[in-house]
Chains A and B, each alone.
Chain A
Amino acid sequence: MRITAPRACALAAAALLATGLALGSAALAAPLRPAESLPDWTGVWQNKGPPTDTDLFDGGTSEPRGCAALNQPCRSHPPYRPEWEAKYLKNLAMARAATLPDPLTRCMPRGTPGNMRSPDTIEFVPRPERTWIFIENGSQARRIYTDGRGHRTGKDAFDNWTGDSVGRWEGDILVVETVGVKGEMMIDRTGAILSSQAKVSERIRRRDADTMEDVFVIDDPVALTGPWKVTRLYRKVNGPIFDYACAENPRNKIDASGRTLTLDTQGRVIDAR
């Protein structure tokens, strides 16, 4: 397996090259916002809250305050339907036993909206036609299209990690709508999950000189009984933002068949036998 992985990645790259040529839905001829009028979001930012993302997606800095502000155990969010509550409780039990197989620890993307609760730093880069959110951890990149296009249709509409994000400006607030995320991605290290029917709405703005704010309303008719509202804050930090080389720390053991094993925080193998 160790020998075939590079070939598989080369194939993936080739597939990407082919699909990269695909067109999205026809761009609408909406006037772009003049570049000179874009808000100043320059600099490097970091999630407010604990340096490790061990809390629930809405924890730590959520407004209203989430679990970190209350005595553990606490989990009033998200508003799961019973079947999804059960799935989450299973993940939560693994998280508390430090055995949660968080994909982030295997160099996989965390996906939207969990990528907005990544460790390390983050950049918000607006231009008239797109806004990029570069997330150091991963590295991960979100692209929010503000050129008037709608969500993808037909063969271009498939689930992926970051989803399909389109946005519009309301003054200096970027209003984002994301659909097309993969179902049951873990969006934090408590094991919170959403379905592929999730619609993530965000209002992103610079609250003050030192603070970026992202107000989420997550609708998921499959997993949730109602909207899940979360506010995450980012504080300005002295840069720079670095490259991220997830595979630099190859401590994961390989079993006899070549399978890469998943380790817990203590280095113990946690894959099912």
Chain B
Amino acid sequence: MRADAGRGIVGAGFPPAPRATSKFLILAAAAVVALAGSGAMAQGWADLPDWSGDWVVVKGKAADPAPPYRPDWAQKARANAAALKASRAADPFATCGLPAGAPRMLSLPGVHEWIVRPGEVWHAVEDGNTVQRIYTDGRQHPAGDDLFATYTGDNVGRWEGQALVIDTVGLRPDTWLDGAGRPHSEQTHVTTRVRKAGAALEADIEIDDPVAFTRPWKIVRRYRRLPAGSFVHDFACHVIRSAADAKAAD
């Protein structure tokens, strides 16, 4: 983890806690008091935007810019892409049961939900039943051994007005950035700024990877809201596998 990975979250808000009795909330409240000088604002429901409903990724007219890979990582990316094309490698996500992880989950097909509550936001994606938990209660990334690599990473967020700024570290290096096989290192640090853009939601994603990239890679994802009354389906990737198994057993 880079020394500055947690920088910039000290201004995060804090939810009203009418029944706050847990040690955690007391500690967090103490932290907010400590941060008062930095302009921390209490964060209540009235301060939060309405991102309810079901969202799907809008395909952009322009392709993402090429990732600014260092030469050896560009070679890894080309090798993955070639192996995919030749069916000599499987997308780790498509083998069922492994999460796509962050930041790839921002680009997945299927329904996205942004579940906004004081203190925490859940980004839930139908595909893979992927759930990313973004803590907006003022906490920072864990330090030392408490920060270890996971699929969705360690996510802390802060509200800048109606925009959610997510800071993500602690990502496993064996996930891909996308379905094209683009790799990344365990040093990946993602800053995602999510906000309303007209009727759409827009995520400005900045992927910084000092090992693999020469400079941050900036991409944008837009989401459009499905009509009211939409719903999210179950996702059971292995049912396909089981059907294949059953056929093989016949």
User: Which residues of A pack against B, CB within 8 Å?
Assistant: 1, 3-14, 16-17, 19-27, 35-36, 40, 42-43, 106-109, 125, 127-130, 132, 134, 138-141, 143, 145, 149, 152, 156, 160-162, 209, 236, 240-248, 255, 257-260, 271
Contacts and interface: CB of A to CB of B under 8 A. Distances in A.
B56 A20 contact: yes
Contacts of B130: 139
A8 B241 contact: yes
A109 B21 contact: no
B227 to A, nearest CB: 6
B26 interface: no
B248 A1 contact: yes
Given A12-B240, A16-B127, A243-B152, 8 more contacts: A3-B90, A5-B241, A6-B90, A9-B96, A9-B237, A24-B229, A127-B115, A258-B244
Contacts of B236: 108-109, 161
B52 interface: yes
B40 interface: no
B244 A4 contact: yes
Contacts of A141: 124, 129, 131, 232
A143 B235 CA distance: 13
Contact of A140 (B98, B119, B129, B245): B129
10 contacts: A5-B96, A9-B241, A20-B126, A27-B228, A27-B229, A130-B52, A161-B234, A209-B22, A246-B97, A258-B244
User: Taking each of A16, A27, A156, which has the highest tally of chain B beta carbons within 10 Å of its own beta carbon?
Assistant: A16
Contacts of A260: 241, 245
A245 B99 contact: yes
A17 B230 CA distance: 12
A184 to B, nearest CB: 14
B240 A129 contact: no
B97 A107 contact: yes
Leading 8 A-B pairs by shortest Cβ distance: A247-B97, A6-B94, A246-B97, A8-B240, A35-B45, A259-B248, A107-B97, A243-B151
A6 B45 contact: no
A16 B240 contact: no
B248 A13 contact: no
B233 interface: yes
B36 to A, nearest CB: 23
B43 interface: no
B117 interface: yes
